[in-house]
Chains A and B, each alone.
Chain A
C-alpha cells in the first residue's frame, strides 16, 4: 500500500529534551512538509522540502529542525528551544511544490510535554 507513515502515534517528552518525529513515504513524491495543528487554529507550516538535501523554513520554524537525506524520509526534531511543543504534528507529501498539486497527509503524531 502506498502512503505516508508517521511514528510514533503518541509521544511524551520531558521539558528540556529534544525529540524526533518520523515521517516516511513510499509515494515517490518529491515534496514533503511538516505542519503543526493546535485546537481552534488552522494547520501551520513548520518546514518543507522540495528535493533531497534541501529544505526551507515555513511560518513557524523556530525551535524545530529537519533533514532530508533520502527522498522517502523527512524527520522532524522538536528541540528544547520550542516554547510550546505540545501539539498534533502532521507530515504530508506531494508530487511537487508549486501549489497546483494536492498534498497527502499521514495520520499524525500527538506530542505531549510532561
Chain B
C-alpha cells in the first residue's frame, strides 16, 4: 500500500526565514510525486510534478526536489502570502493519488 508522511505538521516562519518541508513516501512503482498548495476552505492548487530521483522544479520562492525516498519543498525568503497548507501526493502503479496530511505553514511579519 502506498504511503505518504509529511513533516512537520505545522511550521511558523518569520518573513524572509527560509526552510524546507519534507515528504517521505513508499510507493510501488513511482509514476509521479505532486505538490499542492491549499488555502483554508479552498481546493488544492497544483504546484509541481516530479517524476524521477534527482529532478528539481522551481516556481518563484518554491523549489521542489526528489530522491528515491523523499521530496523536499524548499521555501526561500517566504512572504506572508505563502501561508497555506502544502500537500504532497504520490501516484504508483495503482493509478491513483495517495495524499499526505499536509504541512500548515504560517509566515509572519
Contacts and interface: CB of A to CB of B under 8 A. Distances in A.
Interface in A1-59: 4, 6, 33, 35, 40-45, 48, 58
Nearest to A39: B101
A64 interface: no
Interface string B13-34: 0000000000000000001101
A97 B96 contact: yes
Interface in B1-58: 4, 31-32, 34, 36, 41-46, 49, 51
Among A41, A44, A98, the most chain B Cβ lie within 10 Å of the Cβ of A98
A7 to B, nearest CB: 13
A41 B95 contact: no
Interface in B59-109: 87, 89, 91-102
Given A42-B4, A99-B31, A107 B99 contact: no
B32 A45 contact: no
The number of chain A residues touching the other chain, given as a range, is 20 to 34
Contacts of A42: 4, 87, 98-102
A45 B43 contact: no
Interface in A59-107: 90, 92, 97-107
Contact of A43 (B31, B93, B95, B99): B99
Contact of B92 (A4, A41, A99): A99
Among B4, B43, B91, B93, the most chain A Cβ lie within 10 Å of the Cβ of B43
Contact of B46 (A97, A102, A110): A102
Nearest to B102: A42
Given A99-B92, A106-B43, 16 more contacts: A4-B43, A33-B97, A40-B101, A42-B100, A43-B87, A43-B89, A43-B97, A45-B97, A90-B43, A98-B95, A99-B97, A103-B46, A105-B43, A105-B45, A107-B42, A108-B42
30 contacts: A6-B43, A33-B97, A35-B99, A41-B101, A42-B4, A42-B87, A42-B98, A42-B101, A43-B97, A44-B99, A45-B96, A48-B96, A97-B95, A97-B96, A98-B31, A98-B95, A99-B32, A99-B92, A99-B94, A99-B95, A100-B49, A101-B32, A102-B32, A102-B34, A102-B49, A103-B34, A105-B45, A106-B43, A108-B43, A110-B41
